[in-house]
Amino acid sequence: MLKDLITYFRELHKSYDTRSKTLQSAGNVIGSGAMPSNFLSSGGLGDASRILADFHKQSLNEAHKARDLENDVIMQLTGLRSDLQQKIKEIKGLSGDFKNSVDKEQETTKKAVRQLQESLGMVDRDAGATAGKNDPFLVKLGVDRQVERQIEEETYLHRVRHDWTLPLP
């Protein structure tokens, strides 16, 4: 939208500038001629010359409009557009901050809990099969560690979302 507004005002600037130059050119033609002394100073060609000179003073106003439009509107919009593009780049750069592994941690926790269930089920069937890394106590320690990791990841995600929803000062 800003790009379209900038283009609109640039076209308007060109229009004012072109009109200004055209009127200045025409005004120079009328203003360069000297009025002969035997012409009437009023009520004739002298009046026409003065009226045309006044009309061509508009060219100066048109030039001021074009300059003001360039300085006030177009430059401000261009700066705003540049600032907005910079902010968009910054926001895109921040998107990595919102990446998280909650889903991965949840899946790992499910696997660890299943492994604990299997280990506990094996104790009832064959106590010898639960030795070593399949020992229910060791498996439970692994589940506890994994649940802590998942909670840390969820807490981080919650904190990041909470920080971004706070009102700005």
Is residue 34 classed as helix, strand or coil in its secondary structure? Answer: coil
pLDDT tens track for 102-131:
888 899 999 999 998 988 888 777 777 767
pLDDT tens track for 67-109:
787 778 888 888 888 898 888 888 777 666 566 788 888 999 9
Is residue 54 classed as helix, strand or coil in its secondary structure? Answer: helix
Closest CA to 98 of 147, 153, 59: 153
pLDDT tens track for 14-36:
887 787 777 777 777 766 666 66
Q: What angle do helix axes 75-94 and 2-32 make, rounded to 10 degrees?
A: 160
Break the chain into its structural domains and give their ranges. 2-96, 100-165
